[in-house]
């Protein structure tokens, strides 16, 4: 899971406008076409060398942001005449200055935000209300107010206008690196949203994040119907990540694993249905028999209240905060559009079609039959997390945990080992030290995440969960994933030629490198698994994992479409709908493969609560990862990673063309799957 300040995405959303304006009033151009033409002609008469196409684009874009409070139409025309830069060399000088200023602004805002969230994100004792208040405070919420008031926003919009995704795809192949960097600067100012609405969204997301970070199940307090304890006393698992990873690990336990897996699924279904006893959430004070949903204290049955649809209340709060912002985005007027067409730079329809096509692939039926054969039983719903193709699946997790806990008793030990891990992947000692010096490791309150730096001189943060007994294998596996994020964050900030190009096209791309690292976790432990069918196994695992994560992405996309159709829904209505959508999605794509109908398991993912509409990035990231892995075969892994991620923030398709020479597609995976299934 990646947790970043996506600064160029955040910065488009705040400015002070009257809250009660109707959408048509917000969209209405204060500067009409005649006034725009007049402003353009004024510049042409004063600066005859001005590029007419770029000039008109810049004036129109600046005009789209200008409001009555910014000045009269005459003042707008005068502003344009005085501030338009037609000389390419002067424009480049000003661009470099703006880039430097922005790096300072965003870089220090990022550092402040890290400080304010430290008690929420790291294991630093109890969370007090003052921690929540500071942690949810957005230090940049009034930045756009200020940048419009002092006219910096208009200088940028005028001279570095916004290009739509279609324009970037059409013109981008012919752009220089400087052209791309200037276009990305133009992405900063696309709409104007009141600061209080942005703050409300940030607060909602912060509250959801804290809710999930504290949603632990004390597994040693679970009981079977005959009163047995089947999990260790000290096992505390965070939903859904740790529950899922424990379920995966239990495939290696042929004796007790199936019973553990069945109980975990039962716990998950209680969470989804919100009939889980409130008293067992993040509490070791009671015993809980999830099958009968009974709670005990000192051997006696006790009455309890179920969780009051809190999970779905958080999703609704975030939806409503987003919906309040919609009217201030005339083009990207839904959260769905902003997440896909804006942030991912891929349309939601394109993503859904990609997922639908893959999930209907006939190869998945054959793959399901193969897994059933390997398990020597009919498939169960939880087999969407089948882990038997991975090399580590044949290694008892107790052995792996013994090794990781010895190597990494605390975060500082993991930090100290980073250069050695990078050398194992192929980086030189000097390069390994260069990269690892720019990453610090913190103890995570939640499952862990990666938070990148936003200016050169700052460090990326790897947050990972480590108990007082050291890092268990689950935590190690997640930490290696986050380490991959940190390496991307470091390369794409420090090694990219222009600040406005720092980063990657979207979060799916950084997930791809995180997966590349995660696939090599045993290598980094010094464990070599001799398996002549390793490549085939990796293909089978990639194909099955992609099916699972695409399914949960489909559930979330359909749920948000329903929310926009039913904006006044209650938490209870949303719960019923998401469970229904999860079952319908399951029946459409998974029941033919698994052989069981009406499972709600696709609704368990915590991302749906604390990071809305992020899930499709994982699937897109898996597709990208497979193409990159195919490309990397017989090549220098680390040299190619350095080359590929120095490209920075191009559009996804153009980035992929530069990375591997072809566009993003599931076909390479399906072709490899055909070969593996033979």
pLDDT in tens, 477-493: 999 999 999 999 999 99
* Phi-psi region at 293: left, alpha or beta (left = phi > 0; alpha = psi -120 to 50): left
Query: How confident is the model at residue 5, as a pLDDT?
Result: 37
The whole-angstrom separation of Cα 163 and Cα 58 is 10
Residue 29 confidence class, pLDDT cut points 50, 70, 90: low
Q: What is the mean pLDDT of residues 304-324?
A: 97
Q: Please list, in sequence order, all residues whose beta carbon lies within 8 angstroms of the beta carbon of residue 149, skipping any fewer than 6 positions away.
A: none
Query: How confident is the model at residue 354, as a pLDDT?
Result: 95
The whole-angstrom separation of Cα 532 and Cα 554 is 35
Query: How confident is the model at residue 528, as a pLDDT?
Result: 83
Please state, in angstroms and as integers, the Cα–Cα distance from residue 533 to each residue in 252, 529, 540, 667, following that order.
19, 11, 11, 21
Q: What is the mean pLDDT of residues 368-397?
A: 90
Number of Cβ within 10 Å of residue 292's Cβ equals: 10
The whole-angstrom separation of Cα 3 and Cα 126 is 22
Q: DSSP letter at 236?
A: E
Most confident of 114-128, 519-533, 583-597: 583-597
Flag whether pLDDT at 239 surpasses 80. Answer: yes
Query: How confident is the model at residue 533, as a pLDDT?
Result: 83
Residue 12 confidence class, pLDDT cut points 50, 70, 90: very low
Query: How confident is the model at residue 652, as a pLDDT?
Result: 93
| Element housing 258 (H / E) | helix 257-273
Flag whether pLDDT at 392 surpasses 70. Answer: no
- What are the backbone dihedrals phi and psi of residue 190, each rounded to the nearest 5 degrees, phi first? -120, -30
Residue with tokens 């969370």: 127
The whole-angstrom separation of Cα 562 and Cα 559 is 5
Lowest mean pLDDT among 62-71, 282-291, 316-325, 525-534: 525-534
The whole-angstrom separation of Cα 104 and Cα 538 is 43
Query: How confident is the model at residue 678, as a pLDDT?
Result: 87
Lowest mean pLDDT among 16-25, 291-300, 310-319: 16-25
Residue 198 confidence class, pLDDT cut points 50, 70, 90: confident
* Phi-psi region at 298: left, alpha or beta (left = phi > 0; alpha = psi -120 to 50): left
Residues 498-513 have pLDDT tens digits of 999 999 998 888 888 9
Please state, in angstroms and as integers, the Cα–Cα distance from residue 604 to each residue in 3, 46, 207, 615, following that order.
20, 62, 19, 12
The structure's pTM equals: 0.78
Residues 543-579 have pLDDT tens digits of 999 999 999 999 999 999 999 999 999 999 999 999 9
The mean pLDDT value of the chain amounts to: 91
Residue 7 confidence class, pLDDT cut points 50, 70, 90: very low
Q: What is the mean pLDDT of residues 311-330?
A: 94
Q: What is the mean pLDDT of residues 93-111?
A: 97
Residues 655-671 have pLDDT tens digits of 999 999 999 999 999 99
Flag whether pLDDT at 92 surpasses 90. Answer: yes
- What are the backbone dihedrals phi and psi of residue 662, each rounded to the nearest 5 degrees, phi first? -145, 165
* Phi-psi region at 454: left, alpha or beta (left = phi > 0; alpha = psi -120 to 50): alpha
The whole-angstrom separation of Cα 84 and Cα 87 is 9
First and final C-alpha spacing in the chain:
34
Q: What is the mean pLDDT of residues 389-393?
A: 71
- What are the backbone dihedrals phi and psi of residue 529, each rounded to the nearest 5 degrees, phi first? -100, 115
SS3 category, 470: strand
Q: Pick from 308, 296, 109: which is nearest to 221 by CA?
A: 296
CB 158 within 8 A of CB 80: yes
Query: How confident is the model at residue 391, as a pLDDT?
Result: 64
Flag whether pLDDT at 16 surpasses 70. Answer: no
Residues 62-83 have pLDDT tens digits of 998 898 899 999 999 999 999 9
The whole-angstrom separation of Cα 158 and Cα 58 is 4
The whole-angstrom separation of Cα 588 and Cα 597 is 9
Q: Pick from 536, 406, 417: which is nearest to 469 by CA?
A: 406
Domain segments of the chain as ranges: 18-191, 215-273+275-308, 332-389+531-677, 396-524
| Element housing 217 (H / E) | strand 216-218
Flag whether pLDDT at 449 surpasses 90. Answer: no
Which residue spans within 291-363 are E strands per DSSP? 294-297, 300-302
């Amino acid at each position: 899971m990646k947790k970043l300040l996506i600064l160029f995405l955040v910065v488009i959303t705040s400015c002070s406008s009257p809250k009660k304006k109707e959408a048509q009033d917000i969209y209405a151009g204060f500067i009409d076409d005649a006034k725009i033409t007049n402003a353009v002609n004024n510049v042409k008469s004063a600066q005859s060398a001005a590029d007419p196409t770029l000039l008109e684009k810049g004036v129109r874009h600046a005009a789209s942001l200008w409001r009555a409070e910014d000045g009269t139409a005459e003042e707008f025309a005068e502003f344009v005449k005085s501030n338009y830069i037609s000389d390419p060399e002067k424009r480049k000088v000003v661009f470099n200055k703006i880039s430097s200023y922005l790096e300072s602004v965003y870089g220090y805002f990022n550092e402040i935000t890290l400080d304010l969230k430290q008690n929420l994100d790291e294991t630093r004792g109890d969370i007090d209300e003052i921690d929540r208040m500071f942690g949810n405070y957005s230090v940049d919420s009034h930045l756009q107010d200020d940048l419009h008031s002092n006219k910096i926003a208009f200088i940028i919009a005028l001279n570095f206008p916004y290009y739509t995704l279609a324009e970037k795809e059409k013109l981008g192949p012919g752009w220089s690196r400087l052209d791309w960097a200037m276009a990305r600067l133009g992405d900063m100012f696309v709409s104007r949203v009141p600061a209080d609405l942005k703050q409300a969204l940030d607060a909602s997301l912060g509250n959801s994040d804290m809710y999930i970070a504290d949603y632990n199940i004390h597994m040693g307090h679970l009981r079977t119907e005959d009163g047995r304890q089947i999990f260790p006393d000290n096992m505390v698992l965070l939903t859904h990540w740790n529950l899922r990873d424990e379920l995966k690990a239990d495939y290696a336990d042929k004796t007790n694993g199936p019973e553990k897996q069945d109980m975990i699924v039962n716990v998950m279904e209680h969470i989804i249905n919100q009939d889980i006893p409130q008293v067992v959430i993040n509490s070791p004070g009671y015993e809980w028999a999830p099958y009968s949903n009974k709670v005990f204290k000192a051997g006696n049955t006790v009455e309890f209240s179920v969780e009051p649809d809190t999970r779905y209340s958080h999703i609704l709060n975030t939806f409503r905060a987003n919906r309040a912002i919609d009217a201030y985005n005339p083009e990207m007027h839904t959260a769905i559009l902003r997440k896909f067409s804006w942030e991912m730079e891929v349309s939601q329809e394109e993503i859904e079609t990609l997922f639908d096509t893959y999930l209907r692939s006939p190869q998945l039926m054959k793959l399901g039959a193969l897994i059933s054969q390997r398990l020597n039983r009919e498939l169960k719903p939880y087999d969407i997390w089948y882990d038997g193709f991975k090399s580590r699946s044949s290694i008892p997790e107790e052995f792996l945990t013994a090794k990781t806990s010895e190597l990494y008793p605390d975060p500082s030990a993991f930090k100290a080992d980073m250069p050695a891990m990078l050398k194992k992947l192929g980086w030189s000692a000097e390069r390994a030290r260069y990269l690892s010096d720019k990453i610090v490791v913190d103890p995570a309150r939640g499952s862990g995440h990666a938070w990148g730096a936003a200016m050169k001189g700052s460090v990326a943060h790897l947050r990972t969960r480590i108990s007082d007994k050291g890092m268990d294998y689950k935590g190690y596996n997640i930490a290696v994933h986050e380490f991959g994020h940190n390496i991307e964050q470091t390369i794409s900030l420090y090694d990219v030629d222009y600040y406005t190009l720092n980063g990657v096209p979207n979060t799916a791309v950084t997930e791809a490198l995180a997966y590349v690292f995660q696939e090599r976790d045993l290598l980094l432990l010094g464990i070599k698994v001799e398996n002549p069918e390793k490549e085939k196994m990796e293909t089978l695992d990639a194909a099955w994992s992609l099916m699972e994560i695409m399914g949960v992405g489909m559930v979330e996309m359909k749920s948000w479409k329903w929310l926009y159709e039913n904006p006044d829904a209650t938490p209870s209505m949303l719960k019923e709908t998401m469970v229904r959508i999860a079952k319908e999605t399951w029946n459409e794509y998974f029941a033919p493969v698994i052989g069981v109908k009406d499972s709600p398991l696709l609704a368990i993912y915590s991302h749906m609560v604390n990071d809305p509409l992020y899930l499709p990035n994982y699937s897109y990231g898996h597709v990208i990862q497979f193409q990159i892995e195919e490309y990397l075969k017989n090549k220098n892994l680390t040299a190619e990673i350095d080359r590929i991620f120095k490209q920075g923030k191009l559009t996804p398709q153009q980035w992929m063309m530069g990375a591997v020479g072809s566009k993003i597609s599931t076909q390479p995976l399906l072709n490899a799957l055909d070969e593996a299934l033979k």
